[in-house]
Amino acid sequence: MKPSPLHNKVVAITGACGGFGAALCRALYERGANIAMFDIDNAALAKQLQHYSDTTRVKTWHANVCELDSLRNAMNSAASHFGGIDVVIANAGIDLIEALSADGDDNFDRVIDINLNGVWRTFRAALPHVQASKGYLLAVSSMAAFVHSPLQASYAASKAGVWALSNSIRLELRQHGVAVGSLHPTFFKTPLLHNISGNAAGNALWGGHQKFPFKTVSIDDVVLAAIKAIEIRANITTVPRINGIIANMPGLLRRFVEGIGFKDQTIRSAMAFANQKTKP
């Protein structure tokens, strides 16, 4: 049997102990990858490690996506341990159902800081390593990037932001041989979805996820789509695949503008000016 393209590749993933993160780590391991698991929960990391027979190929690091130094330390240590990093998956995220009129103002900030800023920090910490390996960055977004539900302003904004961030960074890094993708699943069964379904407002909005267009897909479908995205270094992956129609509609004009306005030389020139501006 032909070995997987992931065989002997080093994959670092944030949110490694969540429902999707844990399932994806297992699938990557089964395809021969070496896994650097990052999570904020040390006890969960230790428990996850018990599920792997060959612990030379799996190692855990405490990492907080809200702290750049924490991610840099984990990323640098993982690269030193495994001899480099080929793929980085920004997977850590939370959800929230809350109206604009809700009391307090810190919940919105927290969702944005983890879901959006956390992806930025993860990619920033990973940059020297994926540049060295000409690797692949994958951000876990959502169909919420394209379909914006009421009562989920923070989540929809964060996931749309992740999509835009990925598109922007892809243009920035392609001249270095680094590919950038975003994964956009619909609802699928994880503890995160259970929390949403258990919420009365969420259940009213999406009808218990029993029928189109809010029907759930299996976690296996999402894992397989993520694996495929990594193997082919995809730009945008939707789950189910037919949802790509939704994703592509807002993207038609963007691709046209990229083609005529964001050529490599233009980007190199702009980055040169930006780098000069940041120097003391």
Q: Hey, what amino acid is at 199?
A: N
132-165 pLDDT per residue, tens: 999 999 999 998 898 887 888 999 999 999 999 9
Per-residue pLDDT at 189:
76
Q: Hey, what amino acid is at 63?
A: A
Helix or strand run (H / E) with residue 130: helix 118-133
Per-residue pLDDT at 276:
64
pLDDT at 264 over 70: yes
Residue ranges per structural domain of the chain: 10-249
115-131 pLDDT per residue, tens: 999 999 999 999 999 99
Q: Report the pLDDT averaged over residues 33-51.
A: 98
Q: Tell me the catalytic residues.
A: 155
At a CB cut-off of 8 Å and minimum separation 6, what does 58 contact? 25, 29, 34, 35, 37, 49, 52
Q: Which CATH class is domain 10-249?
A: alpha beta
Per-residue pLDDT at 151:
81
